[in-house]
Structure 1
Amino acid sequence: MADSRHRTTRRVWLWRWRSNPLRRRDDIVEAWLLLAVCALAVATGAFVGAATALGVERNLNERRAERHPVQAVVTEDAPATVSATAGAGGQVWAGVRWKAADGSLRTGSARVEPGTDGGTTVRVWLDRHGNVVPAPLDSDDAMYQGVALGTATAVGAALTVSCLGWAVHGRAERRRMAQWDTEWARIGPQWGQRTG
Structure 2
Amino acid sequence: MTRTPPETITPIRLWRWRRNPLRRHGDLVEAWVVLLTWIFVVLGGALAGWAAASSVDSALAERRDQVHEVRAVLTGPAPKTAPSRGGYDDDRVWAKVRWTDGKGAVHTDKAKVSPGTPAGTTVDLWTDGTGRTVPPPASMAESLLQTVLTGVLVAQITGTAVWAGGRLVCGTLVRRRLAEWDEEWSRVGPEWRRLSGGRG
- The two structures have a TM-score, normalised by structure 2, of 0.81
Q: Distance in 2 between matches of 1:6 and 1:109?
A: 79
Q: Is the 8 A contact 1:64 1:136 kept in 2?
A: yes
Q: Distance in 2 between matches of 1:82 and 1:100?
A: 34
Q: Is the 8 A contact 2:17 2:28 kept in 1?
A: yes
Q: Which residue of 2 aligns with 1:17?
A: 17
Q: Is the 8 A contact 2:72 2:122 kept in 1?
A: yes
Corresponding position: 1:70 with 2:70: yes
Q: Distance in 2 between matches of 1:144 and 1:77?
A: 35
Q: Distance in 1 between matches of 2:190 and 2:141?
A: 72
Q: Is the 8 A contact 1:53 1:147 kept in 2?
A: yes
Q: Which residue of 2 aligns with 1:105?
A: 106
- Aligned pairs, number: 188
In structure 2, the gaps of 5 or more residues are 1-6
More helix by percentage: 1
1:3-152 correspondence runs (5 A): 4=7, 8=11, 11=12, 14-74=14-74, 75-78=76-79, 79-80=81-82, 83-84=85-86, 86-87=88-89, 90=90, 92-95=92-95, 96-112=97-113, 114-115=114-115, 117-119=117-119, 120-152=121-153
Output one character per residue of 1:31-80: Cα deviation in whole Å (capped at 9) or x when no partner: 01210111012111111111111111121111112211111223442543
In structure 1, the gaps of 5 or more residues are none
Percentage of identical aligned residues:
37
Provide the alpha-carbon RMSD of the alignment.
Answer: 2.6
Shift of 1:170: 1.1
Which deviates more, 45-54 or 115-124? 115-124
1:195–1:85 distance in 2 versus 1, CA, 3 Å:
closer
Corresponding letter in the other structure for 2:49: G
- The two structures have a TM-score, normalised by structure 1, of 0.83
Structure whose CA Rg is larger: 2
Which contiguous aligned blocks of 4+ residues in structure 1 show a shift greater than 6 angstroms?
none
Output one character per residue of 1:163-193: Cα deviation in whole Å (capped at 9) or x when no partner: 1111111111111111111111111122211
Q: Distance in 2 between matches of 1:6 and 1:139?
A: 58
